[in-house]
Amino acid sequence: MKNSLTRRSFIRTAAASSAALAWFSARRSSSVFAAEADKPALLGGTPVHKGGWAKWPQWREAWEPEVLKVFRSGRWFRGSDERVSEFERGYAQLLGAKKCLATASGTTALIVSLHVLDVDAGDEVIVSPYTFIASYNAILSCKALPVFADSDPATLTIDPASIESRITERTRAIMPVHIFGMPCEMDAISAIARKHKLAVVEDACQAWLAEYKGRKCGTIGDLGCFSFQESKHIPSGEGGAIIGMSEELIDKCNSFHNCGRAVGTNKGSGSFTRGNNYRMTQAQAVILMQQFDKLVKETEIRRANADYLSANLGKIPGITPVRLPENSRAVWHLYPFRYDAAQFNGLSLDKFSKAVSAEGVPCGRVYHEQYFDGLLDEAIASRGFKRLWSAERLKAYRDSFQELKGNKQVCATTVAVTQNMLLADRSDMDQIIEAIRKVQAHSAALAKAAV
Ligand SMILES: Cc1ncc(COP(=O)(O)O)c(C=O)c1O
């Protein structure tokens, strides 16, 4: 989706294109077009899948009375009722965390966590480059430098072996991102953090219920951050959360997200500490609480279907499912796989995606090499950043983007389908596999065609 679509618009487009495909397929009577069934849909054949993938986000009428109760009560803001606190207790319990703080978004959850873990102006945070841009932005908001470790092409997540060489005397934290809900190799990351006395903020914004060696993602580092934005598996339009095992740290997060007010163990009087307003509203909390069971059930469905896809797509030459760390369970915010054009008669990844999408299976690239887009050039050219780092450091930093060979490969070869598609039946999974097989069978013709 490098050129045209963001991940979020990809998710919306995937849902919308289903309707168009259903219409398209309905118009093709099976008797007239049966002979074309084997031709790629992009070249005029019949799509393998009829479309009609689940819409996202989903609403349930049964949730409405509780939400209306909040609006009718007039107690909308966090401080005027208990619903946000109730959500926090429930979410902490769901993930096996000691405490949770609800926030306005995943981005604000990350900003609050970095602040509380003492990431300050002029510090550096080592982060995974293959992520939604908010991971970079949260670090920049602390006037700190996002320093990119490389991605491991086999896992798409941060390669622990590339972390230590990026550590300087300014490094304060590591921010692994469990991208698409796939756990990072947390043992190795935690060991490096311990050795160098660095904090770990898990960006688990796409990893609700993902597990690494029996622990939920978000509970392993010092703090873990989640997003409940509209595209997410548990959405409330906007929203976020921080979880942790330290009551003191979460109380500090609470103070910082609530204008610096004293909270629990974080005692003080008057304006004793800094803070902003990053609060969740009561209505968001009520919408989220009512989705706990749905999240648990749907996570199992996505897992079963993703396992089935991995077992079968891996048999198609040129398609490589992603490797997960040992003893870990992903939750598949997107289902990614690696594509090797050489095994498809040189069919480019974008043409491959177009051809598979035409078969009724919307898919595409996800993140590109965003560090070349300009936001980091803008940051390092700013007055503040020039005051905080030497010209030599900023030049070396900018030059280091060229060294991200693993991430370049990940961006150039990763294709994904969206999470809503994993909620469909096993026969739909068979058709996803069939669509890719069909495109491979016709890859020579597709590579030559001007489509
Ligand atoms: C990996 C990652 N980090 C951070 C965020 C930021 O979350 P939000 O959009 O709720 O601010 C997102 C949201 O898409 C994300 O996917």
- What is the C-alpha separation between 433 and 436, in angstroms, rounded? 5
Angle, helices 83-95/292-313, rounded to nearest 10 degrees: 40
Q: Is 284 touching ligand 1 by the criterion CB < 6 Å?
A: no
Among 1, 7, 12, 107, the mutation site with the greatest number of ligand 1 atoms within 8 A of its Cβ is 107
Q: Are 54 and 423 in contact (CB under 8 A)?
A: yes
Distance 237 CA to ligand 1 centre (A): 12
What are the structure tokens assigned to 225, written together? Answer: 């951050």
- The SS3 of residue 277 is strand
Nearest CA to ligand 1 atom 12: 205
287 vs 321: CA distance, rounded Å: 34
C-beta atoms surrounding 27 within 10 Å = 8
**Chain position carrying tokens 């909390």:** 285
Give the separation between CA 84 and CA 442, rounded to whole angstroms.
Answer: 54
Sign of CA dihedral 57, 416, 135, 88: positive
Integer Cα distance of 79 and 258 in angstroms: 10
357-401 pLDDT per residue, tens:
999 999 999 999 999 999 999 999 999 999 999 999 999 999 999
Distance of CA 276 to the CA centre of its chain: 25
pTM: 0.93
Question: How do strand 223-227 and strand 334-339 relate by DSSP bridges?
Answer: unpaired
- Give yes or no for a contact between 176 and 198, defined as CB atoms under 8 angstroms apart: no
Predicted confidence (pLDDT) per residue in 222-254, tens digit: 999 999 999 999 999 999 999 999 999 999 999
Q: Distances in Å between the alpha carbon of 402 and those of 3, 127, 135, 308?
A: 21, 16, 20, 37
- Residue appearing with tokens 């979020």: 8
**What integer pLDDT is reported at residue 451 of this predicted model?**
87
Q: How far is the CA of 445 from the centre of ligand 1 (A)?
A: 39
Amino acid identity for residue 398 in this structure: R
Q: Is 431 in the pocket of ligand 1 (CB under 6 A)?
A: no
Q: Taking residues 113-142, what's their average pLDDT?
A: 98
